[in-house]
Chain A
Amino acid sequence: MAEVQISDDDVRGLAEALDRLELPDAQRALLTAIVALGTAAIDQANESLVVDVDPVPSFHAQFAGAFTPERFESAEAVASGVKVDRVTRLMRIGRH
């Protein structure tokens, strides 16, 4: 969780952005009501409000370092999972 401070200016800016959007009546009414709730919450909190939000994760860093070039010893073993002789041996170990 991360803390984000929301001010009266943020709510006013959101209301102005809402005015510029072309929306069906029902969606406009819904968003207006949500913004009104935000305005009321900030009024109650004396001009600013601190809320907890989940951070939006960015996967770029992990993707960027995800790949390691390498060759496998046996492509065939990878293609079918495990070589048959190894499967047989493992099963025997597991059962006895």
Chain B
Amino acid sequence: MPAAAGPVVLVSMPFMAADRPSIQLGLLAAVARAHGFAARTLHANLDLAAQLGAERYGLLAEHRGPLIGEWLFSVEAFGAAAPDPRGRFPARFADDLGYLGESGETLLDLRRHAVPAFLDGLLEAVPWQEAGVVGFSSTFQQNAASFALARRLKRRFPHLFVVVGGANFDDEMGPELLRGVDAVDAAIIGEGERALPALLTALADGGDLATVPGLAHRAGERVVVNPPAAPAVLDELPPPDYSEYFTRAEQLGLLRRAAHRAVWIPFESARGCWWGQRHHCTFCGLNGATMRFRAKSPQRLLDELAHQTRQYRSFRFEAVDNILDMRYLREVFPRLIEDGAGYEIFYESTAMLTRAQLRMLARAGVTRLQPGLESLSSHVLGLMNKGTTAARNINLLRWARYYGIDVAWNVLWGFPGETAPDYAGQAAIVPHLRHLQPPGSAGRIWLERFSPLYTQTSVRHPESSYSYVYPRSVDLQRVAYFFEWEQPAPLPDAAYDELRTAIAGWSTAWAAGPPPALTYWSSPGFLQVHDGRRPGHEGTYTFQDTLAEIYLACADRPVTATAVREKLSADVPAGAVREAFEQFSERGLMVLDGGRALALALPAVPGR
């Protein structure tokens, strides 16, 4: 197929975030080049961000429910078959779209004028006539924009071979979208590092697409899916090449040209989820096809960070991993500390990190962490299969605060089996946690494809905004990732009101000025706790001897009364220790969880 033998252009469309490069594009371009193919990348999302303004684009790129980004491109993607030509979407989802600060008219104007102009501009952004293959990477709300550009390209440059890939095409989603979108020639299902070079080879050689692993393609009227490739070996992958992102972002004025950059560079140190392999969190739909955990070797990772820093002059790194490899706590972070590396790093992690581990992460430069806390109820955490407890979650928040790690987390509800007391209990705890970082949001879980809840739910419907995006000819049950579901015996929404209000107050307290404080000073047999959590009610608690020892025995992690008793200098019955727990708890100085007690105050002296 000589027409497809030209260079490959890899494209990332809106609404991918524009403030950092696409690791998908950076990695696949480097892989293609390593196999001898000419490849370039087009971060087309940057063009729309420049056109709309970074702030407006950033809001549209946030995914908060209805598929606003997909709807904006739907008419351009599907033409007369688009389901909402008159634009009823903004009114239908007005309550959910309030965060945008846009009227229905401005959104319609965006759809009717700005989007077509943006797409027309892209036809001139690249010498498409010289290209042979166009590859679109699509995750979350990038489908309609990708199909819209593919449609225009196919009209103007019919020789182009259009392939799509990414999480939006996992499993049955890929074949169904290929069946329903004429402008797309093939879809890579699953990992692309082996499939893309194989596809480029097949196209260049005029070979048979049936030889390309993991490829969905048309065979007459049918869509055929080839057997998948073996999983990629992460150490064998080249570092992602982000050069074109920086060039374009600077050209468009989205990034200032500077010797030093502060962009968060995406890197991948692991794929899959070691926790999910054994205990799949019930709500989690990530890793549809790639749950098996694999990680780069420590040296390979350290080399990549050093290489990328030199290459792009930024010391900020964002891991795209689903979960931190615990081996790195022994073999990577100590090395970063020894080397004196000055990185700032973001990671997603398990919530089961100890004080010592958090201290090490902080010293190694992990300034941002997303530990998947999800709840402050041990019962609800059990229903989620999270493997952690409320006290452990709170303890992580404590030591993260102490060591200066910013924690991104949410409170989730809506799990089968939960009870009203689960939420009343959380609402009662929250006022005592005001010195710790509040959740970014609190709300009902979404039913995600591939999650255990999805598998277990028989009555489910694609989230309602899908029907405003895709033509009726597309089977939404097969292409949707988010679903609405009929939960057996759900709690009424009012069951969450008290917790919702408590969390709002928590967030307000943090936004108002310096975060509230609850700190302690201690010497042998003497303890003072300063409570500054509630303005107007500040004060100092003073405890001596056994009480001071009991409190300090619970300061590191949640412990039982029996364990505390063994640490005390006097022989105190466990019942008396439990009574002390209750008294500390009544004053909001401890949380009690399943027989364990955790002191809430943090050491006043920093950095230990």
**A pairs with B:** yes
Residues of A within 8 A of B (CB): 54, 56-60, 62-63, 66-72, 75-76, 78-82, 87
Chain A's closest residue to B541 (CB) is A66
A68 and B519: CB pair below 8 A?
no
B605 and A81: CB pair below 8 A?
yes
B505 touches A (CB below 8 Å): no
A residues within 8 A CB of B542? 66, 68
Residue of A56, A60, A66 with most partner-chain B CB within 10 A:
A66
- Given A59-B583, A66-B541, CB of A79 within 8 Å of CB of B517: yes
Chain B's closest residue to A69 (CB) is B539
- In the assembly, what is the distance between CA of A50 and CA of B532, in Å? 50
- In the assembly, what is the distance between CA of A12 and CA of B559, in Å? 39
8 more A-B residue pairs beyond the given contacts A56-B573, A56-B576, A57-B572, with a C-beta to C-beta distance below 8 A: A62-B544, A62-B547, A67-B539, A68-B539, A70-B540, A75-B514, A78-B517, A82-B606
Which listed residue, A62, A72, A79, A80, touches B538 by the CB 8 Å rule? A72
A residues within 8 A CB of B607? 81
CB distance from B408 to the nearest CB of A (A): 20
B132 touches A (CB below 8 Å): no
Residues of B within 8 A of A (CB): 435, 514-517, 519, 530, 532, 537-544, 546-547, 570-573, 575-576, 579-580, 583, 587, 603-607
A residues within 8 A CB of B576? 56-59
B543 and A66: CB pair below 8 A?
yes
- Given A75-B532, A76-B514, A79-B519, CB of A54 within 8 Å of CB of B571: yes
CB distance from A67 to the nearest CB of B (A): 5
- In the assembly, what is the distance between CA of A59 and CA of B542, in Å? 13
- In the assembly, what is the distance between CA of A87 and CA of B515, in Å? 20
CB<8 Å pairs between A and B, sample of 20:
A54-B571, A54-B572, A59-B576, A59-B579, A59-B580, A60-B583, A62-B547, A66-B542, A67-B539, A67-B540, A68-B540, A69-B539, A72-B538, A75-B532, A76-B514, A79-B515, A79-B517, A79-B519, A81-B606, A81-B607
* A/B pair count, beta carbons within 8 Å: 76
A residues within 8 A CB of B544? 62
B residues within 8 A CB of A72? 530, 532, 538
- Given A59-B576, A59-B579, A62-B544, CB of A78 within 8 Å of CB of B519: yes
B residues within 8 A CB of A87? 606
A70 and B538: CB pair below 8 A?
yes
B residues within 8 A CB of A69? 537-539
- In the assembly, what is the distance between CA of A36 and CA of B160, in Å? 95
CB distance from B156 to the nearest CB of A (A): 59
Chain A's closest residue to B608 (CB) is A81
- In the assembly, what is the distance between CA of A71 and CA of B587, in Å? 18
CB distance from A39 to the nearest CB of B (A): 24
B residues within 8 A CB of A76? 514
- In the assembly, what is the distance between CA of A36 and CA of B438, in Å? 58
A residues within 8 A CB of B570? 54, 57
CB distance from B501 to the nearest CB of A (A): 24
CB distance from B538 to the nearest CB of A (A): 5
A residues within 8 A CB of B543? 62, 66
- In the assembly, what is the distance between CA of A71 and CA of B539, in Å? 6
Which listed residue, A54, A59, A80, touches B606 by the CB 8 Å rule? A80
A79 and B540: CB pair below 8 A?
no
A82 and B540: CB pair below 8 A?
no
B583 and A79: CB pair below 8 A?
no
Chain B's closest residue to A79 (CB) is B517
CB distance from B516 to the nearest CB of A (A): 7
CB distance from A79 to the nearest CB of B (A): 4
- Given A56-B576, A57-B546, CB of A79 within 8 Å of CB of B435: yes
